[in-house]
Structure 1
Amino acid sequence: MRATSPRQYFLSNAHILTMNSRRPYASSLQIQAGRIHSLRLDTPDERLPNPGLEHIDLGGRTILPGLCDAHIHIEKYALMLDQVDCETASVRECLLRVESRCRETPPGSWVLGHGWNQNDWGAYGTLHDLDAVSHDHPVFLTAKSLHAGWANSRALEVCGVSAASLDPPGGKLQHDDRGQLTGILFEEAVSLITTKIPKPAKTDIARKILEAQAELNKWGITAIHDFDGLSCLNALEELKQADRLRLRVLKHIRKKDLEASLDAGIRSGTGDDWIRIGHLKLFADGALGPRTAAMLRGYEGEVDNLGMLQFDLEELVQLGSQSIQAGYPLAIHAIGDRANRLVLDVFEKLKDHEQSRDLPYPHRLEHAQLLHPDDIKRPSRLGITMSMQPIHAISDQAMADRYWGARVRWSYAWNTQFKSGARVIFGSDAPVESPNPWLGLNAATARMPPGSETGAPAWVAEERVSPMQALLAYTTLPAKSANWGSSIGQLVEGAFADLIVLDQDPTGIEPEELKRVQPCGVMINGEWIYREF
């Protein structure tokens, strides 16, 4: 891929956290051919090991392995950077932003936005609200959770959706008391709109991913586990071929793309040092925001609402066995305690199928936001990777308290999973949340919702983790879960020189300070991507 060899470096006078238990610390390292050649603990009078190396004295700064966002939608995040930001305090503010964008957009063109949350507004927006500010444009705004959408009349008309339309499998169209559409669509009903919105060209997707990649790199992210579709995979491959990809990617495959992937020879476990194929992604339920997460008992104040399951046990076992026969392990989205129990039951039943097929990775449980106490230790016993997003906890706290009540004791239970022996990996779920990993590290170690008063108690404090545990979940553990071994996620001899430089040691500062950390240097494959020293 690269026409020229990376430069050779000797980084000295550093506080190096290797994230390797056998050799946790070093003070200098040597980089050759894009990999770590050696590490050592120096004495002050030691000389440069090779005069041909470029010597950089780091002045006591901290070096860590590059961070991994283990659950991101990189294409969605990249494209939404240009959309209307709907994460506002009121419906009115959101509508003003939509109105402003409509004035800048040619009549008839789509206006897209993302980030609204009716729980913050006190009610859903309506079709008539949007119609009042968007006469000449189809408008579609996705909820913060990505599990609901809000359309105006023009968008519904263009997409052929009317009050007479049937709910699609796994989805729901919201109607008012008169049976008319409100403009709100839940779960799979969202696809009635999104499949009709013109898709950007591969080169445009690649260009936007390139912009998003620059943001991620500056935060210290050098690897991602991505859950978008084949258009994203194609764009990532284009960037790799153009020598512009600066993220190592575990690329998961969506259910609707499985047949096309198999026909194209795309197999789990295959790939190279930059892009590897991962799991088959399935959904067991919805989300907390629109209250479609599947529950064992009803939401507080909505006793009859048990959320929405996308599959029953038999269907999910059948899909799972087909996936295993195709060589794909499963990564299943589950939010509510009922959905998580269902998925764990499925993984248990699939054990016999796995014995006949050597899968490249363990199965994954995505989000796992609420487990029943009886199910807490099952992921560890089953060898499941727990893919969790700390930033969800502080973002969801008010909703969780309101709709789950006392059940929140077992919500976002990272510490309990660590203690049980489960492999826990952390990500952001961007664009649902910010992909800034330092916000995630703060959430994991502090569990303090935004706006909390000084001295206020942490939310479900028992589930906080230590800074070192959180860093492991952003480095070594996601690398191991993707069978990258020690080649990324830790700083050892032979590993890729994917690393970040910080002005402070994140294990030695207060959790509140973590959200303000900004790397002063980021290196990938032995090349400085970002450097401010």
Structure 2
Amino acid sequence: MTGPAADLTIRRARPYGGDPVDIVVRGGLIDRITGAGRAEAVGEVVDADGRWIGPGLWDAHVHFTQHVSRHRRVDLTGTASAREVLDAARAARSRGWPLQGGFLVGYGFRDVLWPDQATLSDLDQAVADVPAVLISGDLHCGWLNSAAAARLGVAVDRSGLLRETPWIDALHLLDDQGSTPLSAFAEAAEAAASRGVVGVVDFEKADNIAEWADRTAQGVTALRVVAAIWPDRLDRVISAGLRTGDTVDRSGLVSVGPLKVIVDGSLNTRTAWCWESYPGADAADPLAAGVESVRIPDLRALLARARAAGIEAAVHAIGDRANSEVLDVFAALRMRGVIEHAQLVREDDFARFGQLGVVASVQPEHAMDDRDAAEHHWAGRTGRAFAFGSLHRAGARLRLGSDAPVAPLDPWIAISAATARSRDGRSPWHPEQRLPVDVALAASARTTLQTGQPADLVVVDRDPRASDGQELRTMPVSATLLAGRFTWRDL
């Protein structure tokens, strides 16, 4: 860790649904749990005053640099049409919105239900004097003007839209154009800690291992980080002799994560790979049912190479065909791993997650964001969309995350969405797919409240087991501890 953890005694803390206890922390671990007032105090004594305590929370899927950068980008999340996006970009430029590496950058549009269409000429007219890149809310699409396309060296059609692999590569180039200060990463990590977060899995398309080791060395130490590997860096990681789970920094906070492979696209860009075509698509179009971003034989070869080197796999699959194909690969290789998103799953495939030992890493708030898009583009299939309940009942192991910045980096929001399936006063969407609160809490943690476990803890003002969806979404957090060290404290 970041130095020897101080001993600590937490008095009068209530495990979720339980009676008050004392918790003694030594050397970063939970040393003893006794009835309230019975533990011999060691180190600092902290009175929880009857607040509730549980394992620290994890976000199993973030893009941390994109999350940090979001606050430096023009906010497009409230837009509902191409015209509104153009108005927002034009207004930002006229009031002198700060450029990033010479680009005007916006984030958050969702074109899936727009009444109008994006065009290159419209964006060229709206922002005529500087390169402009507008990023979709799901990170799978960008709208570029001609100046931005030329500077990034990419070709766009008359829409100005770039999707999937060409766009993801362009987004990485865009990130290289500007520098994000270390202080911004520290602030974002501390903000996450203020919501009870002790760790994240970072899927940023970057050299995550080296970059996070450097950040912790410079004092960004509020979070544990599992640093994912992209295929273009796999050989380098293997040559270095690194395996999933290896610690790579002096603080002990950063570990080698899984190989990340993207097999299909997203619902909002209509590129998630499905068994059925999207409404209005030409059945003769090879992309009518979505995109196979990586050929399945190539995926199998990548995963086999990773497995031989002791590197686990996390495969992005959103559409039901993508999920079927990825499950087939895991089965053929007799390899366990993680499917990221698992948004649309065939009925016959739910049980295969548990049978194969494949983890379903899901982002419940996406169900709230995308319910209307799903009803339109996956009409007749939404009973098996974002089907967390079906996955759980079929024996799948679940992990919850945000996909930040796509959804807020706040596990309480994910827990609320998973257990309530509603937001903003709307009726629950497919309430049969709700998760029990205990299941959602367990899927948001990687430790338990037991002796010998790391003292990664969160102290909250309400009992999650007795809270409704809105109360979960706004859960007050009084303290977060990482191996017994306070990373957030308001008690």
After TM superposition, the score normalised by the length of structure 1 is 0.85
* Corresponding position of 1:297: 276
1:28 to 22, 35, 45: 22
1:153 to 143, 146, 151: 146
Q: Which amino acid aligns with 1:57?
A: D
2:31 to 37, 42, 50: 37
Q: Which amino acid aligns with 2:7?
A: Q
Secondary structure, counterpart of 1:49 in structure 2: coil
Secondary structure, counterpart of 2:211 in structure 1: helix
1:391 aligns with 2:365: yes
Identify if the C-alpha distance between structure 1 residues 125 and 439 changes in structure 2 by more than 3 Å, giving closer, same or farther: same
Identify if the C-alpha distance between structure 1 residues 8 and 200 changes in structure 2 by more than 3 Å, giving closer, same or farther: farther
Secondary structure, counterpart of 2:399 in structure 1: strand
* Corresponding position of 1:470: 440
Identify if the C-alpha distance between structure 1 residues 192 and 524 changes in structure 2 by more than 3 Å, giving closer, same or farther: closer
- How far 1:25 moved relative to its partner? 6.7
- How far 1:191 moved relative to its partner? 4.3
Identify if the C-alpha distance between structure 1 residues 400 and 231 changes in structure 2 by more than 3 Å, giving closer, same or farther: same
1:115 aligns with 2:108: yes
Rounded Cα–Cα distance in structure 1 between residues aligned with 2:241 and 2:100: 42
Secondary structure, counterpart of 1:30 in structure 2: strand
1:259 aligns with 2:250: no
* Corresponding position of 2:346: 372
Rounded Cα–Cα distance in structure 2 between residues aligned with 1:224 and 1:312: 29
Rounded Cα–Cα distance in structure 1 between residues aligned with 2:340 and 2:101: 38
Rounded Cα–Cα distance in structure 1 between residues aligned with 2:173 and 2:204: 18
2:77 to 87, 90, 95: 87
Q: What do the CA deviations read for 1:139-158 (whole angstroms, capped 9, x no partner)?
A: 11111111111001111222
* Corresponding position of 1:357: none
Is the 8 Å Cα contact of residues 278 and 377 (structure 2) preserved in structure 1? yes
Q: What do the CA deviations read for 1:73-131 (whole angstroms, capped 9, x no partner)?
A: 11221122211111123334433432344334469811112111013532343222222
Q: What do the CA deviations read for 1:398-434 (whole angstroms, capped 9, x no partner)?
A: 0101111111111111111111111111101111111
Rounded Cα–Cα distance in structure 2 between residues aligned with 1:307 and 1:2: 46
1:60 aligns with 2:39: no
* Corresponding position of 2:161: 184
Rounded Cα–Cα distance in structure 2 between residues aligned with 1:184 and 1:221: 35
Identify if the C-alpha distance between structure 1 residues 205 and 267 changes in structure 2 by more than 3 Å, giving closer, same or farther: farther
Rounded Cα–Cα distance in structure 2 between residues aligned with 1:195 and 1:246: 25
Secondary structure, counterpart of 2:116 in structure 1: coil
Mapping of residues 386-465 of structure 1, within 5 Å:
386-452=360-426, 456=427, 458-465=428-435
- How far 1:133 moved relative to its partner? 2.7
Identify if the C-alpha distance between structure 1 residues 230 and 185 changes in structure 2 by more than 3 Å, giving closer, same or farther: closer
Is the 8 Å Cα contact of residues 101 and 178 (structure 2) preserved in structure 1? no
Rounded Cα–Cα distance in structure 2 between residues aligned with 1:395 and 1:269: 33
Rounded Cα–Cα distance in structure 1 between residues aligned with 2:208 and 2:256: 12
Secondary structure, counterpart of 1:245 in structure 2: coil
1:310 aligns with 2:312: no
1:224 to 178, 200, 216: 200
Secondary structure, counterpart of 1:294 in structure 2: coil
- How far 1:194 moved relative to its partner? 3.0
Rounded Cα–Cα distance in structure 1 between residues aligned with 2:298 and 2:2: 46
* Corresponding position of 2:170: 193
Rounded Cα–Cα distance in structure 2 between residues aligned with 1:213 and 1:107: 22
1:286 aligns with 2:265: yes
- How far 1:49 moved relative to its partner? 0.4
Identify if the C-alpha distance between structure 1 residues 229 and 307 changes in structure 2 by more than 3 Å, giving closer, same or farther: closer
* Corresponding position of 1:10: 9
- How far 1:160 moved relative to its partner? 3.5
1:136 aligns with 2:129: yes
Q: What do the CA deviations read for 1:26-63 (whole angstroms, capped 9, x no partner)?
A: 61101223222211123xxx45503x532222221101
* Corresponding position of 2:60: 70
What are the ranges of 5 or more consecutive residues in structure 1 without an aligned counterpart?
19-23, 163-172, 176-180, 355-361, 480-488
1:520 aligns with 2:490: no
Rounded Cα–Cα distance in structure 2 between residues aligned with 1:93 and 1:182: 16
Is the 8 Å Cα contact of residues 364 and 387 (structure 1) preserved in structure 2? yes
1:322 to 305, 313, 316: 305
Identify if the C-alpha distance between structure 1 residues 201 and 193 changes in structure 2 by more than 3 Å, giving closer, same or farther: closer
Secondary structure, counterpart of 2:90 in structure 1: helix
Secondary structure, counterpart of 1:364 in structure 2: strand
Q: Which amino acid aligns with 2:123?
A: L
Q: Which amino acid aligns with 2:196?
A: G
Secondary structure, counterpart of 1:182 in structure 2: coil
What are the ranges of 5 or more consecutive residues in structure 2 without an aligned counterpart?
none
Secondary structure, counterpart of 1:279 in structure 2: strand
Q: What do the CA deviations read for 1:323-346 (whole angstroms, capped 9, x no partner)?
A: 222322221100111111110111
1:348 aligns with 2:331: yes
After TM superposition, the score normalised by the length of structure 2 is 0.92
Secondary structure, counterpart of 2:378 in structure 1: helix
Identity %: 31
Rounded Cα–Cα distance in structure 2 between residues aligned with 1:224 and 1:235: 15
Is the 8 Å Cα contact of residues 139 and 152 (structure 1) preserved in structure 2? yes
Is the 8 Å Cα contact of residues 16 and 28 (structure 1) preserved in structure 2? no
Secondary structure, counterpart of 2:102 in structure 1: coil
Is the 8 Å Cα contact of residues 287 and 293 (structure 1) preserved in structure 2? yes
Rounded Cα–Cα distance in structure 2 between residues aligned with 1:106 and 1:220: 33
- How far 1:243 moved relative to its partner? 4.1
1:381 to 317, 333, 355: 355
Q: Which amino acid aligns with 1:79?
A: S
Say which is worse superposed, 244-253 or 205-214, in terms of deviation: 205-214
Rounded Cα–Cα distance in structure 2 between residues aligned with 1:198 and 1:502: 36
Rounded Cα–Cα distance in structure 2 between residues aligned with 1:107 and 1:495: 43
Say which is worse superposed, 113-122 or 228-237, in terms of deviation: 228-237
- How far 1:320 moved relative to its partner? 2.0
